[in-house]
Chains A and B, each alone.
Chain A
Amino acid sequence: GEDVEQSLFLSVREGDSSVINCTYTDSSSTYLYWYKQEPGAGLQLLTYIFSNMDMKQDQRLTVLLNKKDKHLSLRIADTQTGDSAIYFCAETAKLQFGAGTQVVVTP
């Protein structure tokens, strides 16, 4: 089965908050990552969280980690049209990625 799972699609209105969820299985991961991929572009690291933290805030981004449930989420505040992309979560052990969540921001 999948080591990292994500919901596939999220539609959000401009200015609202987006929440993207991810579950993983490898509890040995030191870090958990969120990457962004825009059409025709490479993967760009957005943010990461240490596995011994439960929250990290970075400007409009908030990462929440529930290590017990192996659940990771990314909240984007005040979502903009430029945030439309595919978002991937990944875990450290061998940098295993989820299938990605496509976020579409509508005006």
Chain B
Amino acid sequence: GAGVSQTPSNKVTEKGKYVELRCDPISGHTALYWYRQSLGQGPEFLIYFQGTGAADDSGLPNDRFFAVRPEGSVSTLKIQRTERGDSAVYLCASSLHQGSTEAFFGQGTRLTVV
């Protein structure tokens, strides 16, 4: 596809369950970013990848959160033992490389933990 694709668009899960959120970046984009956006807040940086490696994961809130990008394209954000406070919209963005003039955002995955 032409843009950044995130699946699923909505996910409802029970407290304590494990979830995976997927991001398909624009083809050829080497930099990929994950954010979390709560209602009324700006996107909160979680992690960014340059290629396959996590160049900066300082925004991951705790060890329940983990992200991978094994082939330098698709990325998966994994959340273990979900808590109600994890409910938010999870946004993914990609850019040609880190520091490019534009990062393109997906529509996000709305995660609701009940």
Contacts and interface: CB of A to CB of B under 8 A. Distances in A.
Interface of A: 4, 6, 30-31, 42-45, 48, 88, 92-100
Interface of B: 33, 35, 41-45, 48, 56, 58-59, 91, 93, 98-99, 101-108
19 contacts: A4-B42, A6-B42, A31-B101, A42-B107, A42-B108, A45-B102, A45-B104, A48-B101, A88-B43, A92-B99, A94-B33, A94-B48, A94-B56, A94-B59, A95-B33, A95-B45, A95-B48, A95-B103, A99-B41
A98 B42 contact: yes
Given A45-B104, A95-B48, A100-B41, 12 more contacts: A30-B99, A42-B106, A43-B43, A43-B93, A48-B101, A48-B102, A92-B99, A94-B48, A94-B56, A95-B45, A95-B93, A100-B42
Contacts of A6: 42
Contacts of A48: 101-102
